[in-house]
Copies of this chain bind each other. A is one copy, B any other.
């Protein structure tokens, strides 16, 4: 038996498109000798489907798509799709062949933490099942089923171990089909789970995951095989669509193809896929693979643009590191020709920041426009002054500036059909050091899940290759430039201290007492916790944030506004 392991990027709710793509993939894999095509969890409807599952006609749409696959598929295929049975909905696996289709698995463990809400929509299956095909027996598990011992929550049973115990020693390998989003912390955890399961069970674990970004969630793929007592072997390059051929008899990886569309541009992957090293157990912030994060964010940008029908983006360039990094990512993701930068200096902008912004654009051959906000700013100040009999002061005056810039960015977006990419980082978003309807705006937050120190780390890592972010940008003290001589450090603790607390709070899940017990300065902890609570309302109105950590602001962070 030769498996075609398809690292597929389904579109949410586009059942027809997904079914057609899977047909193309299965039939392409068949041409290269595959006798079974394997697709990720919920590959027929995309992930996360959310309230789409409540739409009455989804069931019928899926049935029609499955029937169509039966008519055209050349080899049996395992696909992920919901199953509707006796008024219940399961997160299921279907066996689809020219003989018909049937339900062969139902997800047992349903995650309900972080970005996951599966119990909201699905019933738990009873057990994992062992399937037999071409004389080979394999245990079919769906994503979380493999995580009984390693998830963020305690599960009462381990459905994989249970099914193996019941099946005796005859199972050849474990198959896991997944829709598991990327996170910095998640990759080493996943590697650990695959490897430890293979070692414990004494048989290979074959893992097939979704790829592609879906708004905030980025799926890396990471289709791979774990052999007992060996390093995990990646079979498909991360963040790319494609399929790998894996021989279930010899346990050999044969070939890998990558493509943007299975029917169009199949290319054999020349990457020699290096085995990932060891079974890292993650310590927060330790696993910072700049290359991986860069790929993840580029995919996030590219797919969000593709899914929303756009090609071009616009970025407000301040001369600071955040917008510079976003510009670089946009250039990597979309090409310089699709990126426009707006430089919008005010009277408080330093010469350095404007000059550095221009230099950055020239370096990356990005078109830029200089739109001074002075005239608009003065007009607004004048109207308010005339009515109020006193000029706007302090925070009022400061906030008018980023809001005027937002107005220009949205005007550009409207006029030229470009999506405004937000440049806020996670540190700012956490403590509310940002202006609602100003720098917090945009269609997509690119680095909103990276702390300020991580944004620097990313830029520095790129620069070790060639100059991506000019050093004068990296060396300048962070400033919002909303009043003369303003520095971030006037209002915030030094970023390394701030980020350490935030990371322990957000990703680490520690509360006030926990943070103090861990040794953070009590006064600082109270101050940071207070800042975080007071700006929950701002985060409520943030654009979707590309998620690269185990806990990003957005659907994985659910705190009361009051």
Q: Which residues of A line the B interface, CB within 8 A? A: 11-13, 46, 48-52, 54-58, 87, 112-113, 117, 119-120, 154, 214-216, 303-304, 307-308, 369-373, 375-376, 378-380, 382-384, 387-388, 392-396, 399-400, 403-404, 406-408, 410-411, 414-415, 436-437, 441, 443, 509-514, 537, 540-544, 557-562
Contacts and interface: CB of A to CB of B under 8 A. Distances in A.
B410 A436 contact: yes
A560 B52 contact: yes
Given A51-B557, A52-B559, A560-B49, A411 B380 contact: yes
A148 to B, nearest CB: 15
A274 B57 CA distance: 44
Q: This chain: how many copies in the complex?
A: 2
A308 B375 CA distance: 35
A49 B48 CA distance: 24
A559 B509 contact: no
The 9 closest A-B CB pairs, nearest first, are: A307-B562, A379-B379, A55-B511, A396-B414, A119-B119, A215-B561, A50-B558, A396-B415, A437-B437
A119 B436 CA distance: 33
A378 B379 contact: yes
Contacts of A307: 562
Contacts of A415: 384, 388, 392-393, 396
A529 to B, nearest CB: 11
Contact of A540 (B51, B370, B543, B557): B543
Nearest to A556: B51
Contacts of A561: 215-216, 308, 544
A560 B56 contact: no
A48 B154 CA distance: 23
17 contacts: A12-B560, A55-B511, A56-B509, A56-B510, A57-B513, A112-B120, A120-B120, A215-B560, A308-B537, A371-B384, A379-B379, A380-B408, A392-B415, A394-B414, A443-B537, A537-B543, A544-B561
Contacts of A11: 562
Nearest to A54: B509
Given A51-B558, A57-B513, 4 more contacts: A51-B559, A56-B511, A214-B560, A371-B387
A540 B545 CA distance: 11
